[in-house]
Structure 1
Amino acid sequence: MDYQPLKIPDVVLMTPKVFGDERGFFLETFRQSEFEKHCGNYTFVQDNHSKSAKGILRGLHYQLENPQGKLVRVTRGEVFDVAVDLRKSSPTFGQWVGATLSEENKQMLWVPPGFAHAFYVTSDEAEFQYKCTDYYAPGDEYSIRWDDPDLGIDWPLKGEAPRVSEKDGNGLLFRDAPGFE
């Protein structure tokens, strides 16, 4: 596995070694000892799997009292995945990074606790899987608007505005969103 810190160094793009032949392929998607060496000592407690159609945007989501680190990957289709630093003490507070994750490149993105996370589906549909470092807590969920002018995320939109949930459509502006100390 190749671990590449992005512009915000705590967010890490992971590229697995893929071994393939005429029968198919094999790859290792997670090894605790290597993950700790490159990303930190975290324990995953929940795995999630979602399916979305083209043009769907989910996020920018985070939990404040029960912050979740997320190790995300796409097993079908393609998404543009984004992490926004919400740690007020960080030199990269309010900055974002993005990566294209797909079934072809088989890359994964580590989004640590203290970040808002979102993805936009660029293929006809996508299946998105992720491991979380804390449990989902319904009363502790926040959403920042995907089109927040202060963040200025450069989404690779395909024509019309993305489809979002009612909750995400009513998300907070970054300047009004509670962050991490």
Structure 2
Amino acid sequence: MDLCVKPLRRHTELCLLWWLQDQTRYSKFESAAGNISLDTAGKSVQECWKTIQTAITKTAKQVLGVAKGGRKIDKETTRWDATVQGSLREKKALFKTWQVTKSPEDRASYKTAKRAAKKAVARARRDHLQPLYAKLDTPEGHKLIYKLARSRAKAAQDITRCCSVNGPNGELLYDDRAVKER
């Protein structure tokens, strides 16, 4: 019997882009929020607050926009120096021009910039990991290999899984070591 369990997909709520308040958007939002007419006569404080909150969030969605969220990928950007950031900035600008013009020349220039950016990121990663590789070549580094393997295996484990197996006496085994020994 084959049992295939799909991992649960997380559904993130829409997030208002409050941090994108540059001067023009802020003035638009301020004028739109100032034009909100609220009828609070005869309502409780909670009802008034709820109507004000919905009105402000509605205008913020219209003026500022909404982010859908998504999967965050750790790109390890902390080791990117100025050359890597410059090449990525150039690649992004060339991509935007290619999207506007749709010309083959712009696409070719974007492709070359993309290759250069990949090489720059790979160089930065190599330079960052070079001391670790040098340390692994030493006799003390052989012990470090097993420590790294253990930490990577532990980090790769799915924390939402429920690993349980029936033992030889019919009891459920939950411990990973006991499951492996069975």
Q: Is the TM value for this pair above 0.5?
A: no
- Greater C-alpha radius of gyration: 2
TM-score interval (norm. to shorter) = under 0.3
- The structure that is strand-richer by fraction is 1
Question: What is the TM-score of this pair, normalised by structure 2?
Answer: 0.19
